[in-house]
Amino acid sequence: MAREEFPGWHGTTIIGVKKGGEVVIAGDGQVSLGQTVIKGSARKVRRLSPGGYDVVAGFAGSTADAFALLERLEAKLESTPGQLARASVELAKDWRTDKYLQKLEAMLIVTDGAEIFVITGAGDVLEPEHDVTAIGSGGNYALAAARGMMDSDRDAETVARDAMAIAADICVYTNGNLTVEKISK
């Protein structure tokens, strides 16, 4: 069966918010196949600790592909301890040039509490403007909501949770079952 004949996996909203000396990455738990919810409690935000160096990562896209990328990111972080930007760029270069990695369908938001990046298969390592970024099917909704809250007195976690609630209300591929990880530098 050709790839185009499958109904397609959809879903996930991941948001990263940097505010008040903290970075929070939050992700929903819904996995959908076509118009069917397959699972509502997937964990798409993870804490990595290569060599004792804490990094939080959230992923959108294929779970297996994202795990392959997270393993590669951990290896890059072990070879460049404490250098998230360098490890992210090295991962993006590999992702763009390696024939196996080129087929992976996922995106990552990563942070060490000081920096926050979006890493894509197109070779991009993007540092967001306005200290907020989001990916996935509900990413634009969460991003818009969070940007509207950044000047409020809400802390990073509250902004992330409130933005995710708005995204879950709008995007049918996003639910309110959140995984939230907080990190500061």
Cβ neighbours, 10 Å, residue 39:
14
- Residues in the chain, how many? 185
Q: How far apart are CA 58 and CA 55, in angstroms?
A: 10
- Catalytic residue (choose from 12, 111, 133, 174): 12
CA 148, CA 83: separation in Å to the nearest integer? 31
Task: Assess whether 97 carries a catalytic annotation.
Answer: no
Cα gap 6→144, rounded to integer Å: 31
How is residue 101 written in tokens? 């990695």
The catalytic residues are: 12
